Amino acid sequence: MKVAIISGSVYGTADEVARHAEALLKAAGFEAWHAARATLDDLRGFAPQALLGVTSTTGMGELPDSIMPLYSTIRDTLPAEWRGLPGAVLALGDSSYGDTYCGGGEQLRELFLELGLREVQPMLRLDASETVTPEADAEPWLAEFAAALRG
């Protein structure tokens, strides 16, 4: 199964988690692909059979600038070929921001639902105020994601 991983990052942590997810999924036998700042054409060229979103959250609960061009293009296009595909979102945030905690992940999750993706597991929220190893902290969730894809 071909799994496309899209990511949005401010300081690089979410991109690092996405690269780690790509390595873990490949080790689990999936054809995983991640490109920071991917375009819709890049994604369509890969022809994913599942989507994983990994994003941090900025200021007022927004998506990072690095993912906004892709997010906007997907939202404006809503590629029909992705309807029904399995997907999930891994969100990074800081709970000290209160109501906007993991807001970027929530926005990406809403887009995935608009696309008609099947959410195969609940969004993971990684709290920067509680972890210094988000890649390692994401591993159990990613293992569950891989198992859900095998379904």
Domain boundary assignment for the chain: 2-150
The bridge status of strand 50-55 relative to strand 2-8 is parallel
Count CB atoms within 10 A of the CB of residue 147.
Answer: 12
The pTM of this model reads 0.96
State the pLDDT at residue 131: 86
Q: Is 3 helix (H, G, I), strand (E, B) or coil?
A: strand
Whole-angstrom Cα distance, residue 122 to residue 81? 23
Consecutive 10-residue averages of pLDDT for the chain (151 residues): 97 96 98 95 97 94 96 96 97 94 97 97 95 94 98 87
What are the DSSP E strand ranges found in 14-142?
A: 31-34, 50-55, 86-93, 118-119, 124-127
State the pLDDT at residue 151: 87
* Contact of 52 with 5, CB cutoff 8 Å: yes
Taking domain 2-150, whether its CATH number is 3.40.50.360 is answered by yes
State the pLDDT at residue 141: 98
- Return the DSSP state at 61: T
